[in-house]
């Protein structure tokens, strides 16, 4: 899968949810606005009918219109009122617009209710007619403030943006986490596929090599016996040739054994032990084999760490890494370090040699790969094989001229 595929796979549903949330919120506010306006219009119509009766009563008592409206204009939601005669002439009015009555007679001819945009907000207008005590037709014009609705919608918008930004923040963190998780999954999948291909390849090589090794070992044993016999019975001047032949036979036998060891499946014998003891044991064996002074290999350890692993195989890995460090710089200093890192145990071997070239770095753990004159290039491959059998991994940090550090990471308790 290409790298942009998981990005699109995760981002498109997220963007779709964001768009769906925006659209649904807008429709929800639109529905609330219309529904509330309908309710206010119904309420204003009922209020108008009541006021029509009241105004008709006041008119029957010959109360001037200018004295009627100040009694009602104190209501918080009523912004203006006006009384018109049958010819639609204004008889009296009162307004909270500082003496301004926003009346459009043209609007009253086509509609009974409409919304007016004003500096103080949206005003719902209502125009109705009623019969006075003298039988004449009068018109009542009311303006009802929708400020409470606007306040509610404003708070709704604020709440929406708070929720939206919170969801976006959570979504971004979730997206980043899922993207990283997807990347790790793809990396693990590629590693698993590579390991599967490698195991299949070496299974075929193992079947072929085991047969070849069996066919070679028998003639080698016979040849070794002949060299022993030739050494005993040959003249003095030919014994050196016999010893040389015997050494070459042993070399061939050792190469065959190394091939078999590289291709043979591992069987772990787990036991619990102290990591520091294993590190010191591997260090002492290395110093004895190469005759180097103790100060050439320094141990840096943290708190005491217990580990459950195959002690013999892990000792072989450390010895291989120490030998590799020695071959990189026979006179250089080596640092061994063991510590616990969260739920893992880390062991590192750092040298001061020439380092690993960028060309060799991707293949350093490949079998039979190397530029050394001695050996078959299977030491690091066997080390990786042993660590992976423990459920861990081994990696290397290096740059030319700055030495190399091999780090073993295996599961802890």
pLDDT in tens, 68-96: 766 665 555 677 888 888 888 888 777 77
Stronger pLDDT, 121 or 5, i.e. the higher one: 121
What phi-psi label fits residue 169: left (phi over 0), alpha (psi between -120 and 50 degrees) or beta? alpha
Coil, strand, or helix at residue 241? helix
- Between 51 and 369, the more confident residue is 51
Look at 138 and 64; give whichever has higher pLDDT.
Answer: 138
Q: Residue 318: its pLDDT value, please?
A: 92
**Number of helical H runs and strand E runs in the chain:** 8, 12
Mean pLDDT of 284-297: 86
Confidence (pLDDT) at 406: 92
Q: What is the pLDDT of residues 311-355, one digit of tens each?
A: 988 998 999 899 888 888 888 889 998 888 888 899 999 988 888
Question: Rounded to an integer, what distance in angstroms lies between the CA atom of residue 363 and that of residue 293?
Answer: 32
Query: Cα 352–355–360 angle (5° rounding)?
Result: 160
- Domain boundaries, given as residue ranges, for the chain: 4-145, 268-411
Please say whether the structural domain 4-145 has been given the CATH code 1.10.3470.
no
- pLDDT band of 187, cuts 50, 70, 90: confident
Which residues neighbour 290 within 8 Å (Cβ) at sequence distance 6 or greater? 323, 326
Q: Work out the average pLDDT over 384-394.
A: 89
CATH level 3 topology of 268-411? Heat Shock Protein 90 (3.30.565)
Look up the pTM and report it: 0.47
Q: Which of 250, 244, 259, 246 is nearest to 214 (CA)?
A: 259
The whole-chain average pLDDT of the chain stands at 78
Residue % of the chain over a pLDDT of 70: 81
């Amino acid at each position: 899968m290409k790298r942009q595929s998981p990005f699109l796979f995760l981002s498109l549903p997220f963007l779709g949810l964001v768009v769906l949330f925006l659209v649904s919120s807008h429709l929800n506010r639109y529905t609330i606005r219309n529904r509330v306006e309908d309710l206010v219009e119904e309420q204003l119509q009922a209020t108008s009918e009541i006021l029509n009766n009241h105004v008709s009563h006041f008119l029957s008592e010959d109360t001037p219109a200018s004295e009627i409206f100040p009694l009602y204009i104190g209501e918080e939601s009523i912004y203006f009122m006006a009384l018109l005669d049958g010819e639609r002439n204004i008889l009296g009015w009162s307004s909270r617009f500082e003496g301004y009555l926003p009346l459009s007679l043209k609007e009253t001819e086509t509609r009974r209710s409409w919304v007016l945009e004003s500096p103080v907000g949206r005003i719902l207008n209502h125009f109705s007619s009623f019969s006075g005590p003298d039988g004449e037709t009068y018109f009542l014009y009311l303006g009802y403030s929708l400020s409470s609705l606007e306040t509610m919608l404003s708070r709704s918008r604020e709440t929406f943006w708070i929720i939206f930004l919170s969801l976006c923040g959570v979504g971004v963190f979730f997206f980043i986490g899922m993207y990283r998780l997807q990347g790790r999954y793809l990396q693990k999948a590629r590693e698993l596929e590579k390991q599967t291909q490698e195991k299949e390849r070496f299974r075929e090589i193992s079947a072929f090599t085991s047969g070849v090794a069996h066919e070679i070992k028998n003639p080698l044993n016979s040849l070794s016996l002949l060299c022993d016999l030739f050494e005993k019975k040959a003249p003095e001047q030919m014994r050196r040739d016999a010893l040389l032949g015997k050494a070459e036979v042993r070399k061939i036998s050792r190469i065959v054994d190394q091939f078999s060891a590289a291709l043979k499946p591992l069987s772990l014998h787990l036991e619990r032990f102290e990591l520091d003891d294993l590190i010191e044991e591997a260090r002492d064996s290395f110093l004895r084999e190469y005759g180097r002074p103790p100060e050439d290999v320094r141990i840096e350890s943290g708190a005491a760490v217990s580990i459950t692993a195959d002690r013999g195989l892990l000792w072989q890995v450390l010895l291989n890494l120490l030998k590799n460090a020695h071959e990189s710089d026979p006179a250089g200093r080596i640092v061994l370090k063991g510590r616990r890192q969260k739920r893992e145990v880390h062991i590192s071997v750092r040298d001061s040699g020439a380092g690993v070239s960028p060309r060799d770095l991707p293949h350093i753990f490949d079998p039979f790969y190397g530029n050394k004159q001695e050996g078959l290039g299977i030491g690091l491959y066997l080390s990786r094989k042993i660590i992976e059998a423990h459920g861990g991994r081994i990696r290397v940090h290096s740059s030319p001229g700055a030495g190399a550090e091999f780090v073993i990471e295996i599961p802890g308790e």
